[in-house]
Amino acid sequence: MIISYGDRMIHGGSMKKKKRHGVKHKSQGNVRFSFIKKSVNLILTLTFYGYVGLLTYFLFFSEGYGRTVPYHDYRYNFELFYEIQRFMNIGGTSFVINVIGNVTAFIPLGFFIPVLYREQRKNKVIIGHYFRSFLFVTFLGLLFSLTVETIQMVSKVGSFDVDDLFLNTIGVIIGYIGYVIAKMLIRVFERKK
């Protein structure tokens, strides 16, 4: 039994919406958007894993940075800005690799953490989550850097350096700022559509 009420019809006891000819259904657009979004998320996830792999290689295994020849004793620096000042005085390539490199190497981490974390907390509205997210990303970046520095010292392929902790965390913060700017630009672009 079929009974029609405007754009709805009752068919066998259940109500269904009539299909209108010439009208594009939103579900087709949502499926396409969902596919694109999933593809972008997959690319970002794979890029993140590639980044972590490269970072691991350069931090622990790279011959060019002396990682294959272990030290005979534990090396560490607990005086903030000591190594930064030393490399500023040396200048040149040493400064670029040790100071600029420590910041630059962790910028992607600051960008990727909120992107990937956001996918995990979908549909959860958190008041002030940008501020919490900033603290969350900064804390995770610091924790990751602390882990790297500790492993380098214990395995004797590097030294534990508080300057590296500081510079790596600055890199994470710059990456997070890049994430916030990218998100604002995407919103502006979506509003223009």
**DSSP β-bridge partners for residue 10:** 3, 15
Residue 129, domain member (yes or no): yes
Residue 4: predicted pLDDT:
46
> Which of 14-18, 114-118, 172-176, 183-187 reaches the highest mean pLDDT?
172-176
Q: Are 176 and 106 in contact (CB under 8 A)?
A: no
Residue 11, domain member (yes or no): no
Task: Kindly tell me if the per-residue pLDDT of 179 is higher than 60.
Answer: yes
Three-class secondary structure of residue 189 per DSSP = helix
Residue 23, domain member (yes or no): no
Residue 36: predicted pLDDT:
81
Residue 102, domain member (yes or no): yes
Q: pLDDT of 3-52, one tens digit each?
A: 444 444 445 554 444 445 544 555 565 677 678 878 887 898 899 999 99
Residue 27, domain member (yes or no): no
Q: Which of 173, 148, 179 is nearest to 161 (CA)?
A: 148
Q: pLDDT of 62-81, one tens digit each?
A: 887 766 677 788 889 999 99
Residue 10, domain member (yes or no): no
Q: pLDDT of 133-150, one tens digit each?
A: 889 899 999 999 999 999
State which residues form the domain around 134. 32-192
Three-class secondary structure of residue 160 per DSSP = strand
Residue 186, domain member (yes or no): yes
How many domains does the chain contain in total? 1
Q: Which helix (H) or strand (E) holds 3?
A: strand 2-5
Q: Are 166 and 80 in contact (CB under 8 A)?
A: yes
Q: What is the pTM of this model?
A: 0.75
Residue 15, domain member (yes or no): no
